[in-house]
Amino acid sequence: IKTIYEEAPQTHTMGDPIQLKDEGNKHFQTGDIDKAIECYTSAIKVCKDKKVLAVIHRNRSACYLKKENYTNAASDASKAIDVDAADIKALYRRCQALEKLGKLDMAFKDVQRCATLEPKNKTFLETLRRYTVNKKHTDMYSTTTFSTDSRVQNMFEILLDDEMEKDKREKAANNLIVLSREDAGAERIFQNNGVQLLLNMIETGKPEMILAAVRTLSGMCTGHKARAMAIIHMVGIDKICSIMAVDNEEIALATCNLFQCINDSLTGGDNREYGKEEALVLDASKDLKAILLSLLEMVASKKVSGHGRDQALNLLSKNVPRKDKKERDNSRALFTIDNGLKKILKVCGQVPELPDQLPLTDNTQLIASVLLNKIYDDLKCDPERTNFREISKIDPNNMDKTIHAINAISGLLQGPFDVGNALVGHQGIMEMMVALCGSEREVDQMVAVEALIHSSSKMSRASFIITNGVSLLKDIYKKTKNERIKIRALVGLCKLGSAGGDDYSLRQFAEGSTEKLAKQCRKWLCNPQIDTKTRNWAIEGLAYLTNDADVKDDFVEDEPAMKAMFELAKSKDKTVLYSVACTLVNCTNCYEKKEIIPELVQLAKFSKQHVPEQHPKDKKDFIERRVKRLLKAGVTSALAVMVKADNAILTDQTKELLSRVFLALSEDPKDRGIIVAQGGGKALIPLALEGTEAGKVKASHALAKIASISNPEIAFPGERVYEVVRPLVNLLQTDRDGMQNYEALRSLTNLSGFSEKLRVKIVKEHALPEIENYMFEEHDQIRQAATECMCNLVSCKEVQERYLEDGNDKLKLMVLLCGEEDEDLQRAAAGGLAMLTAAQKKLCTKMTKVTTQWLEILQRLCLSTDPRIQHRGLVVVYNMLSSDDSELVKKLIESEMLEILSVIGKAEDNPKRQDPIDVARTCLVKAMELGLIKPFSSPS
């Protein structure tokens, strides 16, 4: 009875694969592998569901592995993979079976796939490492059994062969980088043990090998989340940081780019569809946090070079604050404040003149200040800002070295000014500055004077320091023998002396004092014996003093001083950019000016309020003369170099200042050729695309001025000309002023007359609705500019289709504009109409239906005294005669048009009017061909 009872359920489950599978699982767990194989085999025979069948094959594969039947194990795993290519268990089982069968190349690919899908799985990573690192295996792969992609392998062999010629190695490195930038190429490198071989290249320690390897890794990580995650785990974040830490600017930059590519891929820069793999690609937030922590560690580490520190700070600047304030998540900024604010402040507090400091470049402390500012700006509420201030708080009594505290405050004053300002107000800080000013050590005096300068940025603060600090600075200036301290003390005096801005009546110092200070600054600026950093301070002094128009005028007359400033602006030390930009803005008077309303001035005087006064030398003719002097001294080439500076130093505020200067320089059309010749056109493009809204508009306006009268091929060589279109189209918005609209339209007219490709680009940037809008404008010049632009664009197929569409007044407007009094406007509209009717015969008929005045307007064009207008009107007539509308042709010939054609056609040849005469004759011949008129013959 017992036997029968036990057999019964088995016959019952013969047709149920799920139950058979479950039974097989139980046998597998208890270790009865043969019974498990039996159940799985029975289940496979009756299973119809592909997905279930794949699971059963995968399970039976595990059984065969236990039984060491590797051929069957690999076969079963393959059947599961055929159903689901991302079946990670099946992939790993096949990898194990293939390894035992000696098919190491195939096994390696399977485990690499596993590691790509699940980058944090230690088993996969260990197997990968075992395959790649174990020397015996590596030898085996590279000789016989590992049949890799020969081209990729060949490149690595050339690169890792010390005896290979240098140019062959360089070529192989470039090929590898290019290959990695295409998805298929990157995958080929990845699948062919590429990551390990790239690590081998890095281990050689040769800069050119490290650069090639890092750039190849960047290509492989770009736009591919799974591959980027796999590479992070195979290379290691610490390893990437150690590469960026080396004292080599090019390697530090390339590694910074690698981190950026990884960050972009992990934060959603990768938009590809992964399908089944999507669920297996793990959450990247832990990796992103680990990268952030590693970068913060680098910021304060003595093992990191100045270049490496700069790039770590740059990466934080780019990736910590939100790209857009509308994004809600500012957790990265809060995380950085909690975990790294002290480290960034430590960088600000470094005094390079003291021993045992962090390695820095000339730019490091400024980059750190900019980062502090960006993080502070990213905060959303008072509690967050209070927390920032609390962590930044400096207790004078607890500081190991007072000097570092004061220097850190200087950094905060250049970054989040509110925080620095609050700290300066704390009890004891001002006393510390005074104490340091009186110190015997020159380095203490230097740091204190710099802090005094930075803390006097606001009028209220300046007035407080004028009463307390001026005597201190004067004292230091007179007593010190050290030029470096002397110059800083002088800059402090300059800054305090210019606290009234360009208001002539608010001068802080006695008549003539500012000119004396400026003269001293110019003297230092021109002295090549003085170190660069100290000469930079001289420019800082001029940035304040040039608020005074006497100083501006003296400065532009001093060509050696201007050229010295431009050379410093081109040097590696970029901390000077803001001061140079401020000085140039002051000299060209292109700062934001408050509109002075006469009535309010009278009211202010009556109520004894302060009224700003303009200096006599700030009038238009003086400004124009200063612009000419700057251009002659080579200001444009200096600006072009400044624009190329790293984004962390070239802040949005500095970009706006540069844009203002460019606009002031391009005011006179005669000067635009010099600007183009010195690379100004090219330099304006990035300024017009990034920065503050005001800066972008100013740069776009300067671009419009240049593009309206220059040959685009010369002003914007190569593909750059297409980048100019978007900024120009942005100037067409209705909230821009009339001059900006007008010059944008003129420049688009110039570009659209240049090539079909440019016309298509203008249409793609959605310029048409804006241009059409300005064709209705009341302002004559703007309306004319818009019509001229449209005249050039109508040769575009897409534009013609807009005119063919029903339900709009575009064609009607063009016809009516041909009837305007203004000859320039008439000429532009007639040109557009001639091209439209030539390109689309249907428009000849449509033209007669949109307005009853069409014939009268056409006759006026043909009778114009301007031969260019007359010529265009006659071309329209010829297009109508050539259209397929016989009614229209008949109507035209029956009107007075025949008489007009006869009079013009019978006129004697005249070089000045030959074009209209020839077209009129062609029209008459066409009318004869159509049999509408006959040649006149006299009786015999």
Please write the tens of the pLDDT for every residue from 689-733: 998 999 999 999 999 999 999 888 888 988 888 999 999 999 998
Residue 129 vs residues 91, 137, 138, 476: alpha-carbon distances, Å: 17, 11, 11, 64
Residue 774, judged by CB atoms within 10 A of its CB (0-12, 13-18, 19+), counts as buried
Q: Looking at residue 11, what is its pLDDT?
A: 37
Q: Which residue has the tokens 């004894």?
A: 608
Please report the pLDDT score of residue 294 as a whole number: 96
Is 80 exceeded by the pLDDT of residue 608? no
Looking at residue 599, what is its pLDDT? 59
Note the pLDDT of residue 698.
95
Q: Which range, 253-257, 274-278, 468-472, 779-783, has the best average confidence (pLDDT)?
A: 253-257
pLDDT higher than threshold 80 for residue 654: yes
Whether residue 860 has pLDDT greater than 50:
yes
Burial class (CB in 10 A: 0-12, 13-18, 19+), 1: exposed
Cβ pair 431, 373 in contact under 8 A: no
Query: What average pLDDT score do residues 767-792 get?
Result: 92
Window from 35-49, 147-161, 484-498, 547-561 with minimum mean pLDDT: 147-161
pLDDT at 503: 46
Q: What is the pLDDT of residue 794?
A: 92
Find the helix packing angle between 854-862 and 867-881, rounded to 10°: 130
What is the four-CA torsion angle of 220, 223, 229, 230, rounded to 10 degrees?
A: -30
> 249-256: long-range contacts at Cβ-Cβ below 8 A with a sequence spacing of 24 or more?
249/307, 250/207, 250/211, 251/207, 251/210, 251/211, 251/214, 252/305, 252/307, 252/308, 252/310, 252/311, 253/307, 253/311, 254/211, 254/214, 254/215, 254/218, 255/214, 255/311, 256/311, 256/312, 256/314, 256/315
pLDDT digits (tens, 9 = 90+) for 569-587: 998 888 899 999 999 999 9
Query: Distance between CA atoms of 498 and 773, rounded to whole angstroms?
Result: 47
Element (H, E) at 617: none
pLDDT of residue 604: 58
DSSP codes joined into one string, 682-749: HHHHHHHHSS-HHHHHHHHHHHHHHHHHS-HHHHSTTTHHHHTHHHHHHTTSTTS-HHHHHHHHHHHH
Superfamily of domain 17-120: Tetratricopeptide repeat domain (1.25.40.10)
3-class SS of residue 670: helix
Could you report the per-residue pLDDT of 418-441, keeping only the tens digit for each?
A: 787 777 777 677 778 777 887 888
Please answer whether residues 20 and 43 qualify as being in contact, where contact means their C-beta atoms are separated by less than 8 angstroms: yes
**Considering only 129-138, 678-687, 765-774, 859-868, which range has the smallest mean pLDDT?**
129-138
What tens digit of pLDDT does each residue of 205-217 get?
Answer: 999 999 999 999 9
pTM of structure: 0.72
pLDDT at 138 over 80: no
Which positions ≥6 away from 329 have C-beta within 8 Å? Answer: 322
Q: Kindly report the length of the chain.
A: 940
Nearest Cα neighbor of 373 from 322, 416, 313 is 416
Token pair of 228 as six digits: 């980027």
Percent above pLDDT 90 for the chain = 48
Q: What angle do CA 166, 167, 171 make, to 5 degrees?
A: 120
Q: What whole-number distance in Å separates Cα of residue 188 and Cα of residue 762?
A: 40
Please state, rounded to an integer, the average pLDDT across all residues of the chain: 85
Give 901-921 pLDDT, tens digit per residue. Answer: 999 998 899 888 999 999 999
d(CA 60, CA 47): 14
- Parts of the chain belonging to CATH 1.25.40.10: 17-120
Q: Residue 740 pLDDT more than 60?
A: yes
Tokens of 552: 């501006």
Q: So what's the pLDDT on residue 397?
A: 58
Question: Is residue 741 pLDDT above 90, yes or no?
Answer: yes
If pLDDT is split at 50, 70 and 90, which confidence band does 3 have? very low
pLDDT at 920: 94
Which pLDDT band holds residue 498 (cuts at 50, 70, 90)?
A: low
Query: Is the model's pLDDT at 764 over the cut of 90?
Result: yes
126 pLDDT band, cuts 50/70/90, is confident
Distance CA 730, CA 736 (A): 9
For the segment 816-824, the average pLDDT, to the nearest whole number, is: 92
pLDDT of residue 352: 87
Per-residue pLDDT tens over the stretch 437-457: 878 888 888 888 888 778 766
pLDDT tier at 393, thresholds 50, 70, 90: confident
Identify whether the C-beta of residue 588 lies closer than 8 Å to the C-beta of residue 665. Answer: yes
Q: 495-504, 726-735, 760-769, 803-812: which has the minimum mean pLDDT?
A: 495-504
Tens of pLDDT along 63-74? 999 998 988 999
User: pLDDT confidence of 148, banded at 50, 70, 90?
Assistant: very low
Q: Give the integer Cα–Cα distance in Å for 578 and 585.
A: 10
Least confident of 142-151, 301-310, 350-359: 142-151
Residue 613's pLDDT is: 62
Q: Is the pLDDT of residue 141 over 50?
A: no
Please determine, for residue 598, whether its predicted confidence score (pLDDT) is greater than 80.
Answer: no
- Here the tokens at position 589 are 């008077």
If DSSP codes are grouped into helix, strand and coil, which group holds residue 782?
helix
Pick the range with the lowest mean pLDDT from 32-41, 163-172, 776-785, 918-927. 163-172
Highest mean pLDDT among 25-29, 548-552, 601-605: 25-29
Lowest-confidence range among 233-237, 405-409, 451-455, 814-818?
Answer: 451-455
The secondary structure element, H or E, covering residue 418 is helix 417-425
